[in-house]
Each structure stands twice: as structure tokens, then as C-alpha cells.
Structure 1
Amino acid sequence: MQDVTDNQRLSPGDTAPDFTLPDADGKDVSLADYRGRKVIVYFYPAASTPGCTKQACDFRDNLAELDGAGIDVIGISPDKPAKLAKFRDAEQLTFPLLSDPDRSVLTAWGAFGEKTMYGKTVTGVIRSTFLVDETGKIEVAQYNVRATGHVAKLRRDLSV
């Protein structure tokens, strides 16, 4: 029996939970918009914080190679669109940042729940990265990823 506090985690082969969320400009973006291409969906705790900025800039700096391999990138956090727009503009991010303030998508993907931070158990966003294939299936599911060096490792894992 699963503990009630456990997150429902996704695994390779699972169908990626669909979503439609507003981007930094308030325009709706859906996972279904990416059918036919692979897409990295990554969840991060908060825009404009050091770790999240490093991770977003790593994705930005590797976007050409990922795009060349037929892979798009979407970042999702609980931040409101206005904060995402400020983050995008400050860091010159060129991929969609989506707002999930009620954390329903984060929860559906197992990216919100109990985590250990500085030795304490807290509830929050679990830094997670997924690769969704062309048909909407999870190809890679990684939880508790590090902000630094994660994109390079992901590229190695995907041979991109």
C-alpha cells in the first residue's frame, strides 16, 4: 500500500498528463501543441532564483542542439505570468515558460510534494525533467535533478 504522502510519479511508457497553461504573455500553451515532436517538460521551483536561473540558461544555451535533434523545451513553475515574463526577458529565454499557480499540473506529473531541503522534509516543487515522445508518452522521467550540470547530462543521455 502506498503512503498517502507519496507522490504519484511518472515512469517511461506512461502517457504524459495533458495540460493547457498560460505562458509568460498569458497565451495558452498545451502539451497537445507539441504532438509530432519530442518535448522536454521541466518543472522548477521559482523564476529568478539562482538554481532556476542556472537551469533555464543551460536549456537556453543548448536549445539549438536540442532543436536540431527535434526536441522542444517547456519550463513550468508556480510563478504568475508577469513574473515569468520578467524572468524570460532578464535571461533572454527563448522557450515557453508556463504558469501553474494552483500546482495542478505539477501534482499530476509528480513534481509537487514532499522533498528534503537542507535536511528538513518540506512540501514544494520537486525539480523534475521529462522527455515526452512524439505520441505523448513519457520517454524519460527524472526527479530531484540538480540545477547545475543537468542539461549536459540530459544531452549525454539522449545523445544530443
Structure 2
Amino acid sequence: MGKALRRKLRAQPTVAEIRFWRLIFPLRTGGWHFRKQVQLGAYYVDFACLHAGLVVEIDGDTHSIGRVERNDETRDRYLRERGFAVLRFTNEDVLNHPDGVHEALVAALERRPSSRRGSPPPQPSPQGGGCSAGEFDEIVPQIRCDTLPLAGRVGEGGR
């Protein structure tokens, strides 16, 4: 799968993949970093939490066909040999049983070695920028450093 197909898969997710992404929002904001359409070796996986070594596949109806099942087994074995745990959910699981999917995912994360992020990602400032100096109406302006030589010759400040 090339970059163009990976971009297409990210840009046009299935309904089940959109629901799964929303379902794992509390985990993502709680420090577990998940990525979509990740390349691991020769394969692309639907979702991966690299910190936990966990891969999640959301399977459509075609995954119950014999040849596709064998390909999935080969792929899962490849990923397990490289230290990843693989969870597979059907579209139906994600769409109709989200609580069970969430519980299974949390249980799998708890069993994995913890190299979880130390803290949740930073949140935007409630004041919308600037620096507060006590009261909300007292905003201290940002210091301007337009004399630094970021471009051009030293001493000219890039002008």
C-alpha cells in the first residue's frame, strides 16, 4: 500500500472506524496515543497504540472469507512475532456493542507493558493566549523579540 492509498484510507474511514475513533477518545486524552492507518513492516493496520504495542483491526464482512481469514492469520502472526498484541473487532461489534469493545480494549491495554505517556496532551489556554497577571482583564502582552537575527545578517534582525 502506497502513501496515496494510506492517505485515502485516513481521509475516507468507514462508519465503524469513525465510531471506534470516537469511542477511544477518553483513552487518547488519558495518555494512550493511538494512530490511524499505521505501517508496521509490510502491513498497514487500522489503529495502533505503539506505546502499548497494541494493534486494533476493525473488520468488515469480507474478513470471514477463507482466503482473507488466512491472510489475517499470517498478518497477526507477523505482528505478534514483533511484540504486538492484535485485537480484532467486527464492524457490528463497534456499531452495536461499543461498551463491550471499550471494555475489551481497556483490558488489553492494562495487560500490556506500560510505556504510557506520563501526562495527557496539553490543553489550550482558557484565556485564549497571552499571560494572565492576576485579574482576567489584566493581560500582560507577549514580549516581542524582533531584534533577533532569525533571517538575514546578524544584527539586522532579519529585516
TM-score by length of 1: 0.27
Q: TM-score, normalised by structure 2?
A: 0.27
Bigger CA radius of gyration? 2
Higher RCO (CA-CA < 8 Å; seq separation 6+): 1
Q: Greater strand share, 1 or 2? A: 1
